[in-house]
Structure formats: structure tokens, C-alpha cells
Chain A
Amino acid sequence: MTKHLKQVRALSEDELLSSLRNGDSKALKTIYRQHYQTIINMVTNNAGSLQEAKDIYQETLIVFYEKVKEEDFELNCQIKTFIYSVSRRLWLKQLQRKQRFTAPLTDTDEYIDLSWEEVGDKEDQYDAMHTALESLGEPCKSILKDFYLRNQSMEEITDKFGYTNTDNAKNQKYKCLKRLKKVFFEVYQQENVKND
């Protein structure tokens, strides 16, 4: 009987992962609820406020989801352990950034010592992109967002921004992208240097 139960449980963790991979929002919800308290406790037990704990947990779930979606990703431990390990790495990074804490973390769970490259690469990309887009101002920000994020065509953009022809719009887009690249790579490379 116990054996049977165990099997069911192991299966459900796999099922959870595969439905998460297929973009099932219920699976994300289930996982979010399952590990919420553990991570909130980990952060608040290690000099974090409740709000910081929530932010770290949300960030963790984003990283977890992105990882699961990667084609070559294989989870060699329980979901619980992986999530704890990611949270832990993210929180360490933040403590370091805020220069708040030097003593080792008090851990309540098993964890794998993940490197920042494994956990934070997409966060670095996101941060650099965010900084770069915000530095642009209008109309560059909107043109690039429309083209690269909303997949609008150059014809639509020409109309929307009132350019006399598509070539003018393309020229503007080219200049904007050039400026974006400059800021993006400055920030992105800086982050990479810091992490070395």
C-alpha cells in the first residue's frame, strides 16, 4: 500500500513538470502554492522582510519556469530542492548587492550550490534590456517594442508613428536599435564582469 502511494506521488511530480512545460497555468499555480511558505521562511529567517521574501519567491518561480521550458533541461532532484536552491542563490546575490549580511545563511532545507550563471543569466539579460529600453526615450522605445516585442510590421509602424514612407520608419528603427545595442552591451558586459 505504501509503495503504491509513493509511486503515485513520484509520478505526479513528473506530471507537474510536463504540464508546466506545456504552459499549463494550473501547474504553475500548484507549484507556487506548494513551496511558498518554505521560501518566505528562508528569506525572513535570513534578514529579509516579507516583501523581499515575496519578490525573491516570484523571481525564483520565473527562473524555475524558464529552466523547465529549456529543451535540454533535466531536473535531477526534487522540485522542492531545486526551488530552494534557486531562491537561496537569488537571495545571496541580493544580500551581497545591498551589503547587508556577511554571516552564512541559516538553511532549513537541502540545496544544491548553484552558480550565478546557472540562475541569473536571464535576469541579467532582462535587466540590461530594461535599462537600455528605458534609456531610449520616445519614439525609439515604442518603435522597438512594437517591432520586436509585439511583432508589428514596419508598415504598421510607419502608419502608427506618421512617417511619410516605410523607408523613413526603417531608418528611424535602425538608429534606435543602434542606440539600444550600445546601452545594452554596456550594462550586460558590466554584469558579466561583476559576476566573474
Chain B
Amino acid sequence: MTSKRETDELIERYCLGQLTPEELRIFEQWKDSDPEMGIAVDHHRIITNAFTVYAERIELKSKIQAIQGEMETEEFRFNSPLKLVEKKETKIRVLWKRYRIASVAAVAAIIAVSATIISFNIAGVGPNKNTNAYQELRREVESIKRNQKAIINDINSENKDAEVLPSRSFTGTGFALNQEGYIITSFHVVEDAKSIFISNDKFEQLQVEAVYKDETLDLAILKVTDDNFKKFREMPYSFKKSIADPGEKVFTMGYPREELVYGEGSISSYTGFEGDTASYQISIPVNPGNSGGPLFDNQGNLLGIISGRNSNAEGASFAVKSKWITDYLNQQAKDTKIFIPVQKNLKGLERSAQIKKLKDFVFMVKVYN
């Protein structure tokens, strides 16, 4: 007599057509004489069919959502540039309503200015965003006006919980943290996101979800949830553990528009906006959409993440330091064990060769909320 598990495996192999002629003959006899067996076979077929339906639907869904996203991006492009400016202003005002570590940050700033020695252990982590000068750089792509009829309908219908806000979408940049499908970007890029997708030349569109967020450090860790996704290729870069010095040459890659854009400059200061010790000031011109992009040194070590710019000053951009990112990953996200790669394959390469190796790991992050 065979065990239940063996019976099950027999059914599975029967459905796949993997039985030997001899097994098949015995199995069919058994199936004909035992109606339970017939039902079990039917159930197995329904289940495997449902698996196929499930897998195909997931793939189809992401394709269709990509079309929807594309349409909405176009809608934005055809809108007048005037509108863009308007939107940017309102957006910035809203974003500046964040909390701040006000007095501590101010003290840190005074110390940073008056003393020539800078200590990295002073508090004041995270930029003081409660001012008009700090601008976060996510790009608003779309703002759909609600169909008037829908609004009238909401008023008439009893459905009070219908959505009131128009749906909006933003883009930013993000990059791979390791091969397992973890992506890092800025917190403000994925803030309030309902659904998040990443894309670049290599990966047409991958659905991701935010697994960790930290508003103070302005960091978010995303993970690819797409069923078709297996692994990224071997990572060419790793995090720099020490602090970089002013004058060091740096570069970034990001998506201020639909295409990957390269930018270079140098570290300008040990501290970021108003003496924020968690970030550097850098001299790379960045634009909305650059937020969340990687900051590399000449050897292709990761120095930080682009987070914002000073809108009152020329060429003053900011990036969160890699040391804070690795500390954050080690402490906050330790239960998931997000593995940080140690490879360094970019040393000594020409810049264009470095970019060629890096570009598949840098993504446009599209956020719908």
C-alpha cells in the first residue's frame, strides 16, 4: 500500500505526463475503480491551473499598470511648463511641514561654524527642513484632475469614503543595495506611496514595496516583490566605511528626466544643510528626480545618497553619508539581515566604463499615491 504522500506524487506525475507506461496502466486501473482517485486528479488539475492563472495575472497586472503609468507621465509632459512651477511650489511648502530637531541642530550649526574642529558625534542628524531653503528633490509627474461627474457623483451618492484627493505620482532615483532585490532610496521619494515601481534599461518594470523607512535620515529600503524577479547581477560596488574629505571628486547618476543622467563634482563640506552631520554638502548640480541617487567616489565606492539641495544657494546639494546608511542597516534593519556587498570591481576603470557597469543598478523609482 502506498502512503498518502506517494499517492499525491503519483497524481502529480500523472498530470504532468511523467508516468512510465507500466505505471500509467496501473494508475488508470486504480483511478477507474476508485472514484476518490478521480476527484483527487481533478482537484490537482484545478490547483495547477489556478497556479498558472495566478502567475499570468501577476505578470499582466504589472504590464498594465506600466501602461497606465506611462499614460499619466505623458499627460504631465503635455501640460504647460507654467503648471510645473506652480506645483513645485505647493509641493515644497507641504514637505517643509516636517518635524525637526530644531534647537539641537541649531546648536550643532553654531559649533560647526565657530569651532574649526568638527565632531561627528554631535546630534543634529537629518536636515532641518523647516525652512524654505531646503528642497527635497522628488519629481511630481502627474496630477490628474478628477472627472467632474465623479465629484458630483460623490456628492450625490451615499459613499462618503470615496477618494477626495486626486491621484498623483512622483519619481525619484534608487539603487540596488544587494543582489537579493533590496533597493535604497530617499524617504521623501516614497512617502505616502500606494504603489512603487522601479525601472531602468535592463528591467522594464519591477514592482517593489517599502520594507524600512526612516524619516530623520531620509532613507527608505525597498524590496522587489515581482514574482518573476530572481536576482540582480553581482554588485560592482560597496559602501565606503570612512568619511570622505572635502575636495574628493564624486559623481552621481539619476533620473531627473526619463533618461539616466550623469553628474559630477566634489565634496564641498563635511556637513550638510545647516550643519547636518549625517550628510555632506556636494557640488553636483541636481534636480527634482535626483533624490535617492547614489554618490560614488573615483574608485566607485558608494559615499552616500543624494537627498536635496539648498534652493537659495548655487551648487549646494546634499547627500546622506554612507556611514549612517550602514549603521542604520546594521541596527534598524538587522532582523531581516540585509546583506551588504563587499566587492569592488570599479577601481582603476575609466569613468565611462564605470558607468556602464553601474547603470543597471540605478533605477527610476516611480511612486503612485
Which A residues contact B (CB, under 8 angstroms)? Answer: 25, 28-29, 32-33, 36, 40-41, 44-51, 53-54, 58, 61-62, 65-66, 100-101, 122, 125-126, 128-130, 133, 145, 148-150, 170-171, 174, 177-178, 180-181, 184-185, 188
Contacts and interface: CB of A to CB of B under 8 A. Distances in A.
B266 to A, nearest CB: 43
- Residue in B8, B49, B64, B70 whose Cβ sees the most chain A Cβ within 10 Å: B64
A35 B240 CA distance: 51
Given A44-B150, A184-B47, A125 B60 contact: no
A81 B60 CA distance: 22
B227 A50 contact: no
A58 B64 contact: yes
B153 A47 contact: yes
Sort chain B's interface into a size bin.
Answer: 35 or more
Contacts of B166: 50
B5 to A, nearest CB: 5
B165 to A, nearest CB: 10
Given A62-B61, A148-B48, A129 B53 contact: yes
A181 B63 contact: no
Contacts, number: 105
A33 B166 CA distance: 20
11 contacts: A45-B153, A47-B153, A47-B159, A48-B150, A49-B150, A51-B167, A58-B65, A66-B56, A126-B53, A126-B54, A171-B5
A62 B60 contact: yes
A149 B8 contact: no
Given A58-B64, A100-B159, A129 B51 contact: yes
Contacts of A65: 60
B157 A150 contact: no
A100 B153 CA distance: 12
A41 B149 CA distance: 8
A154 to B, nearest CB: 10
A125 B227 contact: no
Contact of A126 (B57, B154, B163): B57
Contacts of A47: 153, 157, 159
B149 A44 contact: yes
B48 to A, nearest CB: 7
Contact of A122 (B51, B53, B67, B68): B53
Interface in B147-200: 147, 149-150, 153-154, 157-159, 162-163, 166-167
Given A36-B71, A133-B54, A174-B9, 14 more contacts: A25-B63, A32-B71, A47-B157, A47-B159, A49-B163, A50-B144, A50-B147, A51-B167, A62-B57, A129-B50, A129-B54, A148-B48, A148-B51, A149-B55
Chief secondary structure at chain B's binding surface: helix
Nearest to A150: B227
B77 interface: no
B152 to A, nearest CB: 9
Contact of B227 (A44, A62, A145, A184): A145
Contacts of A174: 5, 8-9
Contacts of B68: 32, 54, 58
B43 interface: yes
A148 B12 CA distance: 12
Interface in B62-115: 63-65, 67-68, 70-71
Given A48-B153, A50-B163, A185-B43, A170 B9 contact: yes
A54 B368 CA distance: 13
B146 interface: yes
A177 B53 CA distance: 17
Given A44-B149, A50-B167, A28 B159 contact: no
A29 B8 CA distance: 42
Given A65-B60, A171-B5, A177-B8, A40 B50 contact: no
B50 A184 contact: yes
B149 A45 contact: yes
A149 B227 contact: yes
